[in-house]
Amino acid sequence: MRTWDQRAESGYMKDAEDKYETLSKAIVDGGIQKLSPEHQNEITEMFSIWNLRHYYRKNPIPDQKLNGVLDQEPKYTKDQQECLEKHHIGFIKEGAIVPGRDITGVRIQLHMFDLKKRFKDGSWGIVRSDKGDFLVPDNFNKGILPVSPRICLVFECDNMNIDSQDVAQINRWAVESSTDYYFAKDLSACPITDSSPPQD
């Protein structure tokens, strides 16, 4: 019942996640204060994957029958299919059916390329909260990527520190963007309205 294939999961997605993990740790530790063009690309990839995975989780592609293709041997057992997929080898299931997760893995990658083109003329900024934590939604339809309770990355924004009023605005966007859930280290420390400052 997976939404995308193993090639995507352990291939380009894992590569983007590993690079972003290294970058985000360096930002939190203070080792990176200014984002290089390479960092910008890594952030855009992670933002794209995060949101595209959410979209396809909500809108999965069903298995597709190949029209005009005869259903011929060989037929693969479930174990054989899993083994082929593990080694990034595509296959057609019985009945000339292509698994929807294979199509999704390619679609996400292609859409990621498109998003990288759209984001290439802008830049991400490191935004730190002086007071109040950021919420993390299940997706963000604005160019915002939470990093830690007090740090997020914002597209087309300079590096800056913001107050609880601005944090509340970002958190309102997070709530509006989420479809199933949002979370935080401590929800009581996350302002959502201007009149409810975070607790210390």
Residue with tokens 């983007």: 16
- For residue 66, the model assigns a pLDDT of 85
Tokens of 198: 């975070």
The residue whose two tokens read 């298995």 is: 63
The pTM of the full predicted model, rounded to 2 decimals, is 0.85
Amino acid identity, residue 31? G
Residue 59 CA to residue 53 CA, distance in Å, equals 10
CB 123 within 8 A of CB 40: yes
What's the confidence (pLDDT) of residue 170? 96
Instruction: Tell me which DSSP letter residue 38 carries.
Output: H
Give domain limits for the chain.
1-120, 123-200
- Between strands 160-162 and 124-129, the pairing is parallel
The span from the CA of 25 to the CA of 127, in Å, is 15
Let me know: does 144 contact 173? Beta carbons within 8 Å: yes
**Per-residue confidence in pLDDT tens, the chain, 200 aa:** 789 999 999 999 999 999 999 999 999 999 999 999 999 999 999 999 999 999 999 999 999 988 877 666 567 788 887 888 778 777 778 788 889 999 999 999 999 999 999 998 899 999 999 999 999 999 998 999 999 999 999 999 999 999 999 999 999 999 999 999 999 999 999 999 755 444 44
